[in-house]
Amino acid sequence: MTGGKTPFLWTLFSAGGTLAALLFPVHLFLSGLAFPLGWLEAPSHDSLLNLVQHPLTRLYLFFLISLPLFHWAHRFRYTLYDGLKLKHLTTLIAVLCYGCALIGTVVTAYTLWNVP
C-alpha cells in the first residue's frame, strides 16, 4: 500500500494515537479507579443509556473506538514489517491489519446505531 493511500493511513494513525493518548486515560481513571474506589458516584445504567442515546455521544464513542483501531493497525503493520522482517508479505499484512480495523469500525457503527 503505497502512493496516494499512505497519507490517508498516516492521518488515521495520527488521529487514533492522539485520541488514545488524550481520552483513554480519562476513561480508565473513571471506570478503573474513581468509580470502584468510591471517589465519584458511578452513574446508573439508565443515565448511561440516556447519555448514549444522544447523537453527539454516539459520534464521540464512534471516533473513540474506531480511530485507535486504525492506529493499532498501522503500528502493528509496521511492527511486522520492520520488527519481524516480513516485508515479503506486505499486501497480506496490510489487508489483514486494516481489514480488522475496518471490521471493528463497522461493528462499532452497527452497535452504536442500534442502541435502544
Alpha-carbon span 101 to 106, nearest angstrom: 9
> Residue 68 sits in which domain range?
7-113
Residues of 15-37 as b/e, b for ≥16 C-beta within 10 angstroms? bbbebbeeeeeeeeeeeeeeeee
* Residue 44 confidence (pLDDT) above 80: yes
Q: How far apart are the first and last CA of the chain?
A: 39
Give the count of domains, the chain. 1
The residue to which cell 494515537 is assigned: 17
10 pLDDT more than 90: no
What average pLDDT score do residues 75-93 get?
88
pTM attached to this predicted model: 0.83
Is the per-residue pLDDT at 23 higher than 90? yes
Which CATH number does the domain housing residue 84 bear?
A: 1.20.1300.10
Under the banding of pLDDT at 50, 70 and 90, the label for residue 115 is confident
Q: Does 32 map to a domain?
A: yes
Residue 2 within any structural domain of the chain: no
Reduce the DSSP state of residue 62 to 3 states and report it.
Answer: helix
Mention every residue, 6+ apart, whose C-beta is less than 8 A from residue 17: 68, 71
Quick one: pLDDT band at residue 2, thresholds 50, 70, 90?
low
